[in-house]
Every structure is written in structure tokens, then in C-alpha cells.
Structure 1
Amino acid sequence: MIAAIVRRVSLSNYSFRGSVLYSRMSASEATAEREAKIKRNPHGDFNEVQMSRPEFESDVQFHYTQTIDTKWVPGSGANSNEWQKYKKIAVDPYAEGRDPMNNYKLLIAGIVPRPIGFVSTESKAGIRNLAPFSYTTFVHHDPPIFCIGFASSVAQAKDTLANILETGELTINIISEWFVEAANYTSTNAPPEVSEWDVSGLTPLASKKVKPPHVGESAFSVEAKLVTHHEWKSKVDGEPNGTLVIVEGINFHIREDATNESFTTLDPEILKPVSRLGGITYGRTTQAFEMLRPSWADEEKRAEVQQALKE
């Protein structure tokens, strides 16, 4: 019995995942291990590949175009039949032998483009943290509700998550082209005592209703407070491995030349938002088209609609 007690004590700093024994690492150590497993860099020498590409096209200006098919009518379906040449493959996310990390790689490549929530927090000890999270979006407007997903448990919370759960306060900032390198640098797995504000060179501006500052370089920032959080457990080993936080926006900050007099819109030409694509790829927003939402009261009278309903 004594041997059993000793064994339990000696294993108290470890957990089993399948048949593998893992130590309960710090958040930064866990992130480093996870990044090593993901193997984000698809290139042998990234800098060599980077320098072989054309220079950044700074002269490309945001502009509007027509829609792809201006003559599209109800019932006519896709504007290209290219899709018919290919079969769709069903993939079970938990098929035998499939590593859940493959689902991560697939989903970040398929659910695109994703907005990047550039989140500023501050610990109770006063240490400021800044990091980007592409599992971010807003889900309601009255009240303004946002959600942020963290690929870490509460026990191994990343600094941003730990600060939000500890203080209940944060700011969410939109990343634009003119500071994308600095924003990306804050994604490093620095220890909690290191402030990403310092190593990125970005500018903290005082917020009005929360303690964490918002990013001066960002054209649109949201001050927010925690509403609730939910921890996810792996379907493979039952271990907590992710956390969702739901927050309420309580104050906005908008660059004056990017909005209108009623503060009801943002000019994409000024905002120049950067989005997250798959792997290590990011996207620019350089052109757009507009489409009206159809009103059924008007549409149901159209001959094309009546014909589509008969088929």
C-alpha cells in the first residue's frame, strides 16, 4: 500500500494520454511542444523562399468590381461547373489512426478567411500581454458579443487566457497591413513575465472602461469584459485541451479617417484588414463587390423564381 501511495505522489505532476506519459508543463512549454508537433513551416528555409518572391505590392489599392456574373438569375445555381469534375471525399475527424492535429490543419485551411483578434490583456500583477488569435469573431450586436477560442486548457492557460479569467478584462484590436509584422511577432511563446508590447514596439493607448490598453496602430479596437467561459475536452483521451471565452464589447475606438459621421461603418480602403488563411498564410483585402439581399416580397413575383419553384 505504501508503494502505491508513493507511486501516486511521484506521478502527481504527470498525466496519461493514451499510453504516453506527459508532464504537466507550463503554458509556454505546452505551446512550444504543440508548435513543434504542428510543424507550420512547409519550407526547408523560409527566409530563402521569402526572398525569392516578388516584393510586397504596396501600390495595390482597394477597389470595387462587378460581381462575377451580373446576369445571374434565380434558379441558375453556380456561375461555373468546374466543381462537377471532382468528387467530394468524406473525412471522419476521428477515423482510426487520424491524429486530431490533422483536423486542426484542415480546419484552419478550410474555414477562411478568418478575422484575427489581436487581444490585449493585463495580469493582476500589472504585466501586459498582447497576442493574435484567429479563433475570434463577433456573434451578436445588442449587446455586442464576441467569442475567442484558445487551444489550451484552463490548467495550461496561455497568458492571454489566464489574464482574461483572472481579471475579466481585455481589448480586441483589428490587425491592418501597416503593422502586421509586429503583430505576428507577438505570437511568440514568451514567458508570462515578458510583455509583447515591449518586443513588438507597438503603442499601448489607455482604454476608457477596462485596464488593458488598446493598440494605437489599430484602426478599430473594442474594450471588452468577460461574460463566461467553457472548457473543451479531447474526444481522444478526455483531457481538457481548449477553452472558449465569451466577452461583451463595452466601448469602441475608431480611427477618425476610417469611419463616417454616425460611426456606422469602416472604410476597407483605410482599414486594410489582414485575415488568416491556412498554414502560415495571411490574406490582404484589396478588392470587393457588393450584392443586395433579396426581398422575397419582390422576388416571388419574378418569372425565374416561379420557374425555379416548379422544377
Structure 2
Amino acid sequence: MVALTRTDIDNMDTLYRINLINSCSGYKSANLIGTQSNDGFTNVAVFSSVIHLGSNPPVLGFITRPDTVPRDTYENIKKTGFYTINHIYQEITEDAHHTSAKYPKEVSEFDKTNLETSFKDNFFAPFVKNCHVQIGLRYVEEYNIQVNGTILVIGEIEKLYINDSILETDGFINLAKAKTATINGLDGYTIPQQSIRYPYQRPKST
């Protein structure tokens, strides 16, 4: 087994360190966040940092990098208050990954890929058409992470669209059926297969 100290990590080649530390936390969720500016420019970008924060109220968070350079997704969310989270699935991984390219604000990633917008029920931000899970959120609050300048953005779910073929009777969303992707590091995409579900656990009697 390779043993590394903090000094070893600090002395690594930058790209090697980025790949290593982005991979060591394990598989991450793979999502496209869709936004729209007040002047009508759409934006979609890949994020691997979406996390569940609670079910009542239903809130999700995601981490955005420091706003020391233009961050169209973050800027649109702060100015409009709305955004969407859309699960990446196997057939769109290449296009989804391309949304990490840095285009000017007035150039929509939807126009540079085969991804398509889907506006639903007067929700301001665009969903990504054909994604099996599409979530519309309203910005609630944010927290600045002092150690590295990143920002935890928190939103409350206002719209939730799920392909009925993957929604099971107990409310479980079967992501394996949807071929939902996960991200390993920065650029490795994996399609998990479900093998086991365990029932709710209670303490064992002595």
C-alpha cells in the first residue's frame, strides 16, 4: 500500500495531486446544473458535488469554486434565485463532460453539445431534456468555506420530475435502471449496477 504524508501531497506535481485528491473521496454524484440569466442566456455545467442535506424541508447543496473568476452558474443562481439539477446518464456522459469547458457567458453549452433545454411549468431555469431525474430548486442560502474559498450553495426543491419506470412503490429511485452515472475523480465516469438493498435497521435485542 502506498503511504503518503501531507508533505508528500504538497510536493506532488499539481495535476497528479488534483487527480489523487479528487479520487480519494470515492465515487461522486454526476449532475448537470441548469441556469438562465435575467437576459435570457442559458447555461448548463457538470457538477460532482451535489449532496443531500435533508428531506423536510427537501434541501440539496452543492459546492462551487471561489468566485474570483466568472462563475456563470453561481452568478445566475444569485441573480435569479432558481436552478435545476439533472442526473447525468450513460448516453450523455461525453456531452455532459464537455460542459466543463469555459465558454463566454453569452455562449450556451446547450448550443455546443447535443444537450437540450426543457422548460416546464413556468419554472425559470431550464431542465435538461431526457434526464431521468430533474430537480427544480430555489436558492435558500450559502456558506463560505474559509479553508479554500469554496461556497456551499443550498437550495430547496420546488419541482421534482422522475421517469416513472425508475420510481419504485416505496419511493426509492432506482438509479441503476436509469443508467445514472457517477464520477471518479475529475473525468472518470462509471455506471453503477444495483446489487443489494437492505431494510431499515433497528438495534438488535440482546
Structure with the largest fraction of strand: 2
In structure 1, C-alpha distance between the alignment counterparts of 2:39 and 2:93, rounded to whole Å: 28
2:50 alignment partner, one of 127, 133, 136: 136
Distance 1:123 1:179, change over 3 A: same
- Higher-RCO chain (CA-CA 8 Å, sequence separation at least 6): 2
- Whether contact under 8 Å (2:141, 2:153) holds in the other structure is yes
In structure 1, C-alpha distance between the alignment counterparts of 2:158 and 2:87, rounded to whole Å: 16
After TM superposition, the score normalised by the length of structure 2 is 0.87
2:132 alignment partner, one of 212, 219, 222: 219
Give the letter for the 1:196 counterpart.
Answer: E
Describe the superposition over 1:158-191 as per-residue Cα deviations: whole angstroms up to 9, x where unpaired: 1111111111110000011122122112221111
Partner of 1:72: none
Give the letter for the 1:267 counterpart.
Answer: N
1:243 alignment partner, one of 130, 136, 151: 151
Instruction: Return the offset for 1:278.
Output: 2.1
Instruction: Return the offset for 1:91.
Output: 3.1
After TM superposition, the score normalised by the length of structure 1 is 0.59
Give the letter for the 1:216 counterpart.
Answer: K
Instruction: Return the offset for 1:102.
Output: 6.5
Describe the superposition over 1:130-163 as per-residue Cα deviations: whole angstroms up to 9, x where unpaired: 011101111111111111111222x424111111
Instruction: Return the offset for 1:90.
Output: 6.0
In structure 2, C-alpha distance between the alignment counterparts of 1:143 and 1:99, rounded to whole Å: 43
Is 1:228–2:141 an aligned residue pair? yes
Is 1:127–2:34 an aligned residue pair? no
Partner of 2:178: 271
Any stretches of 5+ residues in structure 2 without a counterpart?
A: none
Distance 1:195 1:134, change over 3 A: same
Instruction: Return the offset for 1:119.
Output: 0.2
Give the letter for the 1:280 counterpart.
Answer: D
Describe the superposition over 1:7-57 as per-residue Cα deviations: whole angstroms up to 9, x where unpaired: xxxxxxxxxxxxxxxxxxxxxxxxxxxxxxxxxxxxxxxxxxxxxxxxxxx
Partner of 1:190: 103
Is 1:257–2:165 an aligned residue pair? yes
Structure with the largest fraction of helix: 1
Describe the superposition over 1:246-282 as per-residue Cα deviations: whole angstroms up to 9, x where unpaired: 11111101113222467x1223343111001024211
Give the aligned CA root-mean-square deviation in angstroms.
2.6
Distance 1:261 1:204, change over 3 A: farther
Partner of 1:285: 192
In structure 2, C-alpha distance between the alignment counterparts of 1:228 and 1:100, rounded to whole Å: 32
Give the letter for the 2:205 counterpart.
Answer: E
Partner of 1:116: 30
In structure 2, C-alpha distance between the alignment counterparts of 1:221 and 1:93, rounded to whole Å: 42
Distance 1:127 1:94, change over 3 A: farther
Give the letter for the 2:189 counterpart.
Answer: Y
Pairing 1:45-56 to 2, within 5 Å after superposition: none
Distance 1:94 1:231, change over 3 A: farther
Pairing 1:72-111 to 2, within 5 Å after superposition: 86=1, 89=3, 91-92=5-6, 104-111=18-25
Any stretches of 5+ residues in structure 1 without a counterpart?
A: 1-85, 236-240, 302-311
